[in-house]
Amino acid sequence: MTRLETLLIAVMAIWLLLTIVYQVFPRQLAPYTQRWDLFRWLPAYDLFAGTPRTLQLSFRDQLVDGSMTDWCAIEICSKHRWHHAIWHPEGRRLDVVGSLVDDLINIIENQSSSRSKEVSDRFVYLSILRFVLCLPRAERVTGRQFKIEQSEGYIATRPSKQLFCSRIHSYEAVCGS
């Protein structure tokens, strides 16, 4: 075996070993992989590990006269189509929005109420806000607010429960930045 072969085999062996260690200790190693694995060369295989939650993102607008419109639900998943098995370009964007909504709820649920003000400073919150504010709007709208509700899914025995409601954000403050 040449030196080059030995080197290349060693790289693959280390890569495989790190992959195994990362699957066994994902939480313990997460701070290190977040920091050092910039290109995400270490895969995470914990697919569909938890129980999926059905979270609904909705928004409503504030009009010039200060009144609010009705809540409008945002589709954060694409309706099932058989051709998505081959071609599903919008899936990635909707996946990201869905993950952001899920992450925001996890942050809210895992932090004490005394620190709740910080939520609106988080990148996750601001990204959802950016997404919501950039959706089409009428001319007489000055601000927008969003909320997140949880339901049991298609087949539900209980009504949806509101988990979070943002304050009203003006367009000039966020979309322009």
Partner 1 sequence: MRLFVDPEQALAWITRLVAIGVLLDTLELVYCRKQFDDEQLFAWRWLRRSRFFSARRLFPHVVDLLLDRPLLIPLILVRGVSAVLLIVLPQATSSSTVALALVFAISSLLNLRAAPYGVDTPSRFTIVIVGALLLRGGAPGSPILAQVCLWFIALQACISYATAGMVKLFNEGWRSGVGLFNVANASTLGMPLRLATLLARHEVIGRGLTWFTIAMECAFPLVLLLPTPFSFFFIAWGLLFHLTIASLLGLNRFFWAWIATYPAILYVTQR
Burial of residue 127 (number of CB atoms within 10 Å: 0-12, 13-18, 19+):
middle
Among residues 37 and 142, whose Cβ is nearest to partner 1?
37
159 contributes a contact to partner 1 by CB under 8 A: no
Q: How far is the CB of 66 from partner 1 (least distance, A)?
A: 26
Nearest Cα neighbor of 75 from 97, 50, 47 is 97
User: Dihedral angle at the C-alpha atoms of 119, 121, 125, 129, nearest 10 degrees?
Assistant: 130
Q: Identify residue 121 by its one-letter amino acid code.
A: D
Among residues 74 and 168, whose Cβ is nearest to partner 1?
74
Terminal CA-CA length for the chain: 58
Among residues 84 and 140, whose Cβ is nearest to partner 1?
84
Number of residues located near partner 1, criterion CB under 8 A: 66
30 contributes a contact to partner 1 by CB under 8 A: no
Q: Where are the beta strands (DSSP E) in the chain?
A: 54-63, 72-74, 141-151, 161-165, 169-170
113 contributes a contact to partner 1 by CB under 8 A: no
In angstroms, the CA 131 to CA 114 distance is: 27
The helix/strand count (H/E) of the chain reads as 5, 5
Interface region with partner 1, contact rule CB under 8 A, candidates 3-11, 59-67, 109-117, 161-169: 3-11
CA angle 149, 110, 37 (to 5 degrees): 105
109 contributes a contact to partner 1 by CB under 8 A: no
Among residues 108 and 175, whose Cβ is nearest to partner 1?
175
Interface region with partner 1, contact rule CB under 8 A, candidates 94-102, 111-119, 139-147, 161-169: 94-102
Among residues 88 and 140, whose Cβ is nearest to partner 1?
88
Interface with partner 1 (CB under 8 A)? 1-2, 4-5, 8-9, 11-12, 15-16, 19-20, 23, 38-56, 76-82, 84-93, 95-100, 123, 127, 130-131, 134, 151-155, 175
